[in-house]
């Protein structure tokens, strides 16, 4: 949050603000805290950037990064084994992924590795993958060592952080790290920014009031 370009968001004052929009998919075993993590991130931000969504499975949130506003569209997936085969539908076209595991449950770490492997094999080649060891507040129950996860992440070229959705530890940092890693050249990409918000995004209210152009 500290890295939000403070003061940089006065309405209409930033004609040159770039908007990048990215699809970010959340993967990980059931109950590792995927949605809590994202919700913490979303709720922890300023309301100004928050979009009303109908539920926590899809959330959108923007962060400011210097002269760029990075908007994440966050797609949650069901972590159950039985729904595994549906995951490709969700990570198709995603530019970023957070693979979450629970540091108190080693099997979720194994599962996370499987996800990473699958993503690297099947998702967009340039996808930015972050590994999140969640529930770091439960240090006394830890069963996955930090070093183990850290070295795995290094070997596979992932961003890695231990997080706690409960205490908000490293939550914003994780998203900011991802935001920084995203190719800013994608800005104004017709696929994303331009197609979604156009070039002029100075009015933060615009979205809610205009979302219903289908209404007539």
Partner 1 sequence: MAVHASVNGTTAIPWRGSRKKLSLLEKLRSCQDAWCPGAPWDRDRAHAAISGAPAGSFLVVRDSVTSQPCLLCVSAGDQNGEVLDYNMNCTGTAFQVSASRLSFSELPQLVLFYSLSRDVLAVCLSIPSLIYSKSEMNKDHLSQLEPNTWLSPPPEYQTEEVPQKEPSHVMCSIQLTSSNGALCIINPLYIHEHGDEWLTHKPAGLQLSHIRRERRLSTTRTWAGAGIQSKRATSLDQESKYSNTEAAGLTRARSADSPLTPQTPTEVVLRRPSRDLTCSIHQRASTGSLSTPTTPGTPEQHRHSSPVPQSPHRVSWIEDGVWLPPPRPSSLLQPPSLELDSLSISSIEEEQETQIASPTPHHPSAHRLADKVMHRLSAVGQALGGLVSQKKRLTNRVVELSERKGTAFGETVKSFVEVTLKGGSDPSGPMGAEFLQEVRSSLSSLREILLDYPDIQAILDSITDLNDPEIDSLVEITLHKVALKPVSSHLYSCIHTARTNDGSFQRLQGNFLVLEKNGVEELGGSKGVGVPDPLTLDRIQQRWASMHEAYSPNKKIQILLKVCKSIYHSMSANATSSTGTVFGADDFLPCLTWVLLRSNLISLQVDTDYMMELLDPTQLQGEGGYYLTTLYASLFYINSFQPRLAARQLSVEAQHSINQWHRRRTLHCNKSRRSVQRRTIRRQMAKQNLETETKSKSKSGTENESEEAGVTGQSTETSTEADFMPSENTECEQELEDQPQTSVQTDFQAAKQQEMMTSEQEDRLSVCTETEETKDDSDEELKGDLR
Q: Quick one: which of 159, 168, 138, 136 has its CA closest to 38?
A: 168
Q: Nearer to partner 1 by C-beta: 110 or 154?
A: 110
CB of 85 to partner 1, least distance (A): 4
Q: What angle do CA 184, 189, 192 make, to 5 degrees?
A: 100
CB of 9 to partner 1, least distance (A): 18
First to last CA, the chain: 39
Report the distance separating Cα 71 and Cα 96, nearest Å: 12
Residues at the interface with partner 1 (CB under 8 A): 23, 26, 30-31, 34-36, 38-39, 53-58, 60, 73, 75-86, 88-90, 92-93, 121-126, 185-191, 194-200, 206, 210, 213-214, 216
Q: Nearer to partner 1 by C-beta: 141 or 198?
A: 198
Report the distance separating Cα 216 and Cα 142, nearest Å: 55
CB of 2 to partner 1, least distance (A): 25
Q: Nearer to partner 1 by C-beta: 151 or 206?
A: 206
């Amino acid at each position: 949050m500290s890295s939000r370009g403070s003061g940089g968001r006065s309405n209409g004052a930033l004609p040159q603000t770039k908007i990048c929009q990215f699809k970010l998919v959340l993967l990980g075993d059931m109950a590792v805290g995927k949605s809590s993590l994202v919700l913490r991130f979303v709720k922890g931000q300023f309301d100004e950037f928050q979009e009303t969504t109908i539920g926590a499975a899809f959330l959108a949130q923007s962060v400011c990064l210097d002269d760029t506003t990075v908007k994440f569209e966050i797609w949650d997936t069901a972590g159950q084994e039985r729904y595994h085969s549906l995951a490709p539908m969700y990570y198709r076209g995603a530019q970023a992924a957070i693979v979450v595991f629970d540091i108190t449950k080693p099997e979720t770490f194994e599962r996370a590795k499987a996800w990473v492997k699958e993503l690297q094999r099947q998702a967009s080649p340039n996808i930015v993958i972050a590994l999140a060891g969640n529930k770091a507040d439960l240090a006394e129950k830890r069963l996955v060592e930090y070093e183990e996860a850290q070295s795995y992440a290094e070997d596979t070229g992932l961003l890695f952080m231990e997080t706690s959705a409960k205490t908000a530890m490293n939550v914003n940092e994780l998203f900011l790290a991802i935001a920084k890693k995203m190719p800013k050249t994608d800005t104004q990409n017709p696929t994303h920014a331009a197609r979604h918000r156009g070039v002029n995004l100075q009015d933060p209210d615009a979205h809610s009031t205009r979302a219903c152009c289908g209404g007539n």
